[in-house]
Amino acid sequence: MASLSSQMNVIVEKTKNLIQLCEALQEENDLLKLEVQSLQVAFETSSEKVKQLEENVKALAVAKTLDNSSIDKEAINEKVLDTKQKINDFVREIDKCINLLR
């Protein structure tokens, strides 16, 4: 009878350990779900920025093709350089977002 009692005690202890492990895993799962949601929001935001930048690049390409002789070429070059700098800054920010998602 003592053997049966000790076996039951072992089973009860193992069951308690399994329940504790299950609870810890459930908490970790909840935290991971929150992290996934956060990363999805960051990804959607960066995707939206990429779309905006692509539109800006298209607009810049159209602007480059237009040859307006009444505008000073030096002013155009400054604007082009300024726009390129802004695009480069946006691209760097997108790269940072992408690196955070990895």
Q: Kindly give the confidence (pLDDT) of every residue in the chain, 102 residues in length, as a single tens digit, with 9 standing for 90 and above.
A: 679 889 999 999 999 999 999 999 999 999 999 999 999 999 999 999 999 999 999 888 877 776 554 556 777 788 888 899 999 998 898 888 888 877
Q: Are 98 and 43 in contact (CB under 8 A)?
A: no
Q: Which residue in the block uniquely carries the two structure tokens 């298209």? A: 58
Q: Are 21 and 73 in contact (CB under 8 A)?
A: no
Residue 8: predicted pLDDT: 94
From residue 35, give the alpha-carbon distance in Å to each of 2, 19, 67: 50, 24, 50
Residues 6+ apart with CB under 8 A from 96: none
Residue 60: predicted pLDDT: 83
CB atoms within 10 A of CB 83: 16
What's the whole-model pTM score? 0.49
